Amino acid sequence: MQISFNDVTINYEDEGKGNIPLIFIHGFPFDKAMWQPQIDFFKKENRVIAYDIRGFGKSTFGTTQHSIDLYADDLILMMDALGIEKAIVCGLSMGGYILLNAVTRHPEKFAGIILADTQCFADTQAGKEKRFKTMEQIEAGGLFDFANGFVQNVFRKETLMDNKQLVEKIKATILSTSPTTIVAALNALAVREETCSLLNKILIPTLIICGREDMLTPIDKSAFLKENIINSSLQIIHNAAHLSNLEQPDSFNQHLKDFISAIK
């Protein structure tokens, strides 16, 4: 399905039925397909929506410079266009940055949030410089090397060895993404503002999830979220790294199910 507003057409999947929709925001540099284990599980009893962030998957790039603010605006505009007054929203990694941005500006749109393998901190100067170098690498035709390196960092070693089908699927997603989109998103990530100072404004139920072996956003980042969001809980998923929803989908789904049941 597709829906258009402002300068962009967003590609999304909308399955199942339920009073409070469950919306999934994918991480960088993936698309909505990364949520397939969650869509298949939750559509039986919930209305489930997963969408491609602008430029990713089958969503158009648009004409506006990409930023976390813009990605968050797209989320709210999509909800409005679909007639969704309030939803439970789950964001992983960059999806979590987008969700934190949106919920602090539009708290009335959320019945609950799930922050998976993400953080509230802005990039350090060293982090920014690393992203800028990666942008130069990709612009110089280095997308294949980028994809190879990226999958090494988001999966645990055992997954890289024992579940090559999953690893290759994620790598293929990265390689199918326009270098222009990846560069635009890397810049958006590099210049994003912190949301740590706004965590005390989040008063709705919040579930925080982190893979125990996540090296990109380690457990201490999730612990900080837990300490500073009043109505929050933290669940650590064993035998999982940054893509905890894909490495341990059963555990991930059960935590979400328990959280959603408590809200409903």
Residue 138 predicted with pLDDT over 90: yes
Cβ atoms of 24 and 35 within 8 Å: the answer is yes
Q: Residue 196: its pLDDT value, please? A: 98
- Cβ neighbour number for residue 43 with a 10 Å cutoff: 17
Element (H, E) at 50: strand 48-51
pTM, to two decimals = 0.98
Average pLDDT, stretch 23-33?
98
Quick one: pLDDT band at residue 15, thresholds 50, 70, 90?
very high
Which residues, including other chains, have CB under 8 Å from residue 198's CB and lie 6 or more apart?
100, 104, 120
Whether residue 244 has pLDDT greater than 90: yes
pLDDT tens figures, 215-225: 999 999 999 99
Q: Please, what are the domains in the chain?
A: 2-123+194-263 (3.40.50.1820)
pLDDT value at residue 264: 73
Which residues fall within 8 angstroms of residue 88, CB to CB, at 6 or more apart?
20, 21, 22, 23, 110, 111, 112, 113, 114, 260, 263
Q: Evaluate whether 94 touches 27 at the Cβ level (below 8 Å).
A: yes
